[in-house]
Amino acid sequence: MSLAGGWWWNAGEPAAVRGRSIPSRVVNTVAALGIDAGVERALELVGIVAFAVSGGLMAVRKGFDLVGVLVLSVVTALGGGAIRDLLLGATPPAAVTDGWYLTLSCATGLVMMVAHHWVHQGVRRTVLVFDAAGLGLFCVTGTLKAIDFQVGVPGAIALGVVTASGGGVLRDVLAGEQPQMFRADSVLYSIPAALGAGAIVAVTEADRYAAWLGVAIAAAVFLLRVAALKFRWRAPRPRHLVP
């Protein structure tokens, strides 16, 4: 595949019409990372739990009742992937067809109802680390799924970012908060995801994608997010206008 070959903007055409197909090693999205199926499944579920914890904590801090806590936990954990699947036409989304996704999200919300003090005081940094890990993993897998669906380069990068950060944006909006990525004091979040998605597209375009590269890119996004949290790295801002 190459940009000159034309799947940049005409990705809506079937692969057969364009006379080529996506390399087989990127067809199975998450499995294309080369991780053992059991390990990959475990990492995926741990990421869902971490995001659900984030949503549950937000709901508890806002004083929501049981329904609000459950809704915010589920939306945060599954929102990004569900939006991606709907945009791709992969319906019904895995968020509603995989029983473990909903079960773990709801169970985590219930735990937050009674354990939020312990979580907030004891493992808040751990939750942020898991969130960063989910950002790295989901931006890679989201981009691979978009490529699998023959989406063009800009769309694949965008869907990688949506998968990684969409749930957090929905959480903040439903909780009446300004989304993290749109706050003046926010540190890098969507940019690491976009860089990771772009790297996946680049190596795929060059026909150089391999399992170790997928894992390395996910790890790089994770490390960049953690570094941004530690050193308070922010995206460039426009200079204030002088009257």
Residue 18 lies in a domain: no
State the Cα–Cα distance between residues 89 and 91, nearest whole angstrom: 6
Q: Tell me the pLDDT tens digit for each residue of 12-31.
A: 443 333 343 444 444 454 45
Calculate mean pLDDT across residues 138-162. 90
Q: Report pLDDT for 162.
A: 95
Residue 172 lies in a domain: yes
State the residue range of the domain holding 227.
Answer: 25-231
Q: Tell me the pLDDT tens digit for each residue of 178-217.
A: 887 887 778 899 999 999 999 999 998 888 888 788 889 9
pTM metric for this prediction: 0.77
Tally of domains in the chain: 1
Residue 15 lies in a domain: no
Residue 11 lies in a domain: no
Residue 112 lies in a domain: yes
Residue 239 lies in a domain: no
Q: Tell me the pLDDT tens digit for each residue of 58-91.
A: 888 888 999 999 999 999 999 998 999 999 998 8
Q: How far is CA 243 from the centre of its chain?
A: 41
